[in-house]
């Protein structure tokens, strides 16, 4: 059962201060990303950010510190160019996909698998609007914890009653009065529809915050003032996401309970 706790957002999260060989030749040096090492793992030549070593043309491991936005060469915005995201994903996939390294040695196979897994994770995260904002908050806040699941304060009493109704429904025996069971099922279904509508409202409010964030990112404001404004938006988005996660869990539990 979803546990009911009052919202508790952390201020500490937001401090107020601050292939084939010809294919390899075509892409080597054409793009740059932070690599895990400054020297090629194979020939020890200097690596300045190319996917492939300029001397031995061996694939290089991506830095684990690379953030997903930087991976796709896009700014930290929430309304992104999804066509550009997909295009860059396919370009990088052609460079890192393990199929291109099936005849290579084990070291290159391992590196290509790691790079490909990182790329796929980055793409899935940025493609989904909710995962994108959750990831942005973790980046900007310097926090590694997932978004907490807290109920909206104005629904606290309603959710308490809903949990009691779900418990009553589960405790009804198979030979219980069918009318009582049907009435309770209908009540729970109405509650589910109400929560789904509330979830839609939260997602609309979240999209409005996307615009606020992107506007702040595009302004050349005083760094300290801009940071304060950004932190305010980040906290607001964190609260919406926290409430939304709780509502989503409640909706899922209602589906499981009523069938």
Q: What is the band of 251 on the pLDDT scale with cuts at 50, 70, 90?
A: very high
Mean pLDDT value of segment 10-14: 44
Residue 80 confidence (pLDDT) above 90: yes
What pLDDT shows up at residue 32?
A: 63
What pLDDT, in 10s, does the model give residues 133-172?
A: 999 999 997 654 566 788 899 999 999 999 999 999 988 8
| DSSP letter string, the chain | ----------GGGS-S----HHHHHHHTTTS---BS-SB-TTT--B-SS-SB-TTT--B-PBPTT--HHHHTT--S-SS--HHHHHHHHHHHHHHH-GGGGTTS-HHHHHHHHHHHHHHHHHHHHHHSHHHHHHHHHHHHHT--SPPP----GGGHHHHHHHHHHHHHHHH--TTS-HHHHHHHHHHHHHHHHHHHHHHHHHHHHHHHHHHHHHHHHH----HHHHHHHHHHHHHHHHHHHHHHHHHHHHHHHHHHHH-
What pLDDT, in 10s, does the model give residues 26-69?
A: 333 345 677 777 899 999 999 877 788 889 989 999 988 889 99
Range of weakest confidence among 94-98, 122-126, 172-176: 172-176
Residue 77 confidence (pLDDT) above 80: yes
Average pLDDT, the chain: 84
Q: What is the band of 176 on the pLDDT scale with cuts at 50, 70, 90?
A: low
CATH topology of domain 31-141: Helix Hairpins (1.10.287)
What pLDDT shows up at residue 29?
A: 36
């Amino acid at each position: 059962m979803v546990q009911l706790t009052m919202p508790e957002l952390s201020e500490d999260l937001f401090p107020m201060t601050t292939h084939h060989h010809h294919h390899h030749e075509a892409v080597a040096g054409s793009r740059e990303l932070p690599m895990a090492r400054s020297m090629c793992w194979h020939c020890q030549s200097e690596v300045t950010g190319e996917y492939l070593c300029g001397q031995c043309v061996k694939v290089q491991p991506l830095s684990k510190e690379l953030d997903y936005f930087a991976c796709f060469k896009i700014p930290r915005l929430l309304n992104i160019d999804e066509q550009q995201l997909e295009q860059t994903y396919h370009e990088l996939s052609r460079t890192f996909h393990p199929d291109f390294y099936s005849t290579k040695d084990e070291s290159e196979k391992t590196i290509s698998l790691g790079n490909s897994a990182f790329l796929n994770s980055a793409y899935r995260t940025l493609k989904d609007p909710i995962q994108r904002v959750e990831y942005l908050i973790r980046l900007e806040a310097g926090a590694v914890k997932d978004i907490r699941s807290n109920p909206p304060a104005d629904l606290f009493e309603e959710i308490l009653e809903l949990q009691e109704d779900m418990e009553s429904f589960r405790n009804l025996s198979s030979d219980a009065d069918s009318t009582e069971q049907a009435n309770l099922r209908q009540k729970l279904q109405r509650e589910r529809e109400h929560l789904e509508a509330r979830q839609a409202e939260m997602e609309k409010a979240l999209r409005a915050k996307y615009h606020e964030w992107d506007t702040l990112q595009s302004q050349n404001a005083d760094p300290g003032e801009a940071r304060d404004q950004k932190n305010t938006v980040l906290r607001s988005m964190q609260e919406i996401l926290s409430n939304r996660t709780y509502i989503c869990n409640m909706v899922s539990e209602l589906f499981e309970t009523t069938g």
